[in-house]
Structure formats: C-alpha cells, structure tokens
C-alpha cells in the first residue's frame, strides 16, 4: 500500500438519473484533478426518489450506473467506488449494491447491503427499506489492492452494527468504505460519532461519502461526507453542500497507530 489521496463525494441526488450522473461526473472530475486515486460515491448516487419508481426502473438504473462507474474509472485512471444503486432481483425487489471499479474499468468487488433500514423515527418519518430491497446474504468483502490497501465494503445502516466491521478488520481491512444517505434527523446526533467509533475500534481509515439536502418531498439527508484516520481524527468534512472531502491515506500513520494501540491483537472474544 502506498500513500495516496482519497475522496469522499457529497451529492444531492434526485429522482432523475441523468442529472445525478452529470453531478457525479462533475464531482469525480474535481476530485481527480486534485489528485485523488480512490473516489467514493454515496449511497443512491444515481437515483434517490420513490421506492415504486426505483423498482420499476431498476434495470435501467443498474445498467446506467454500472457503465458510468466503469467509464469514470477508465477516463480518469482512478479507482471508483459506487456506494449503492438498485440491481433488480425480480419484479418486486432489488439489491442495494455497492461496486468497486479499478482504473482499468474492471469490477473488482461487489457488495449487497445486508442491514436494511426499517425504522420509525421520533420525527414522524417511517422507513421500510425491506419493502423493496432484498438483504444481501454474503458476508462483506475485503478487497486487497497493492496500491490502495485492504478495502472493506459496507453501506450506510451497516455502520450501526460493529460486528460487521470486526469481521472486516479480522479479514485484514485497513480502510473502511461507508457510503451513506443518512437521514437529517439521525445524522445530526449519530453520523460522525459512529464513524469515529468504527475507525478507532478497528484502527482503520474510514471513507464515508454522503448524501446531503432535500431530495424530494419526504427525504432529506444529513451530509458531512467525511474521511477519518485510525485514531478517530476527522481529516476532511464536506459540510452540508454538494462537494468533495479529500484526505491522504498514509500507511505509515496506520502502522504507527496499530503499533502504539495494538487493540486488534488483544481481542479475547471472537
């Protein structure tokens, strides 16, 4: 693993596939021009609208999203992580799928979100992700890249389940990817502290691209796309507007922290 710049993209995705991909392209180019070698897009980067429309048009969204990721990776010669888009299972359900593409435009890792957001929030909003999404059945993957390090994949609501990240760290993860569309209500209290906790307890970098702002009448996201180091220090925060958070992923820093705080070696319960 070499030292490199990573970028966590922040978007306000809409119920409009073409507009979302145009926004994503602009932000990817901005990150690439600043030297980022790994660019991560948030959950729902290509579409954020009603569940019924998403399922009805899932095949088109999936096809366009996948081709877009491969094209961007090839064009800018970077690794691109698409943090979540619908891939149809049948006429009624999709997988919430995250895809990692290498600089040659080849898919190298795929993850289907396992924890689904079925929650009744105190602000009156109700979310039932399982009504249209099928939970993934495979354990989350770690992709070992000689230049970028060992990348552990996850999506949004997964961040509330520390055992998932223990699994990833046990499998050798050094960088945790946490793309999200965190709600405005939960994000203000939980987003940053959860990301910092996962970074600290696993002594890993965390790259967390995010959705922000108003997407449609019933959906608003928290923002604050973030990159955090293995000590829990916030290296970059995109605030609450569309943009890019960029920071260095430094293997020497990772090694130093793991040497000084070797908690992963001191685990008793597995």
Alpha-carbon span 182 to 77, nearest angstrom = 29
Alpha-carbon span 21 to 253, nearest angstrom = 34
Phi-psi region of 175 (alpha: psi -120 to 50; beta: other; left: phi over 0): beta
Residue 19 is a catalytic residue: no
- Using DSSP bridges, classify how beta strands 210-216 and 234-237 pair: parallel, antiparallel or unpaired: unpaired
Cβ(68)–Cβ(19) under 8 Å? no
Of the residues 54, 64, 70, 156, only one is catalytic, namely: 156
Of the residues 37, 43, 70, 174, only one is catalytic, namely: 43
The 3-state DSSP composition of the chain as helix, strand, coil percent (nearest 5) reads: 35, 35, 35
Least Cα distance to 10 among 159, 155, 179 occurs for 179
Of the residues 37, 54, 70, 113, only one is catalytic, namely: 113
Structure tokens at 16: 């409009």
Edge to edge, the sheet with strand 149-153 lists 142-145, 149-153, 175-177, 205-208, 226-228, 234-237
Residue 156 is a catalytic residue: yes
What are the residue numbers of the active site? 43, 113, 156
């Amino acid at each position: 693993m070499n030292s490199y710049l990573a970028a966590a993209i922040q978007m306000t995705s809409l119920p409009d596939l073409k507009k979302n991909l145009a926004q994503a392209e602009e932000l990817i180019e901005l990150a690439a021009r600043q030297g980022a070698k790994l660019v991560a897009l948030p959950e729902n980067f290509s579409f954020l609208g009603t569940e019924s429309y998403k399922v009805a048009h899932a095949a088109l969204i999936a096809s366009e999203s996948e081709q877009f990721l491969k094209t961007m990776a090839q064009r800018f010669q970077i690794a691109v992580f698409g943090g979540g888009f619908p891939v149809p299972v049948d006429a009624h359900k999709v997988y919430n799928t995250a895809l990692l593409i290498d600089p040659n435009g080849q898919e190298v890792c795929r993850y289907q979100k396992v924890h689904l957001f079925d929650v009744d929030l105190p602000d009156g909003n109700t979310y039932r992700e399982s009504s249209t999404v099928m939970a993934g059945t495979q354990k989350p993957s770690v992709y070992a890249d000689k230049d970028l390090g060992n990348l552990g994949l996850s999506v949004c609501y997964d961040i509330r389940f520390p055992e998932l990240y223990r699994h990833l760290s046990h499998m050798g993860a050094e960088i945790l990817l946490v793309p999200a569309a965190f709600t405005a209500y939960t994000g203000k209290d939980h987003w940053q502290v959860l990301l910092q906790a996962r970074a600290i307890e696993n002594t890993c970098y965390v790259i967390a691209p995010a959705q922000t702002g108003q997407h449609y009448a019933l959906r608003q996201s928290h923002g604050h796309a973030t990159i955090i180091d293995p000590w829990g220090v916030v290296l970059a925060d995109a605030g609450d507007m569309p943009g890019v958070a960029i920071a260095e992923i430094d293997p020497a820093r990772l090694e130093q922290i793991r040497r000084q705080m070797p908690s992963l070696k001191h685990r008793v319960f597995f």
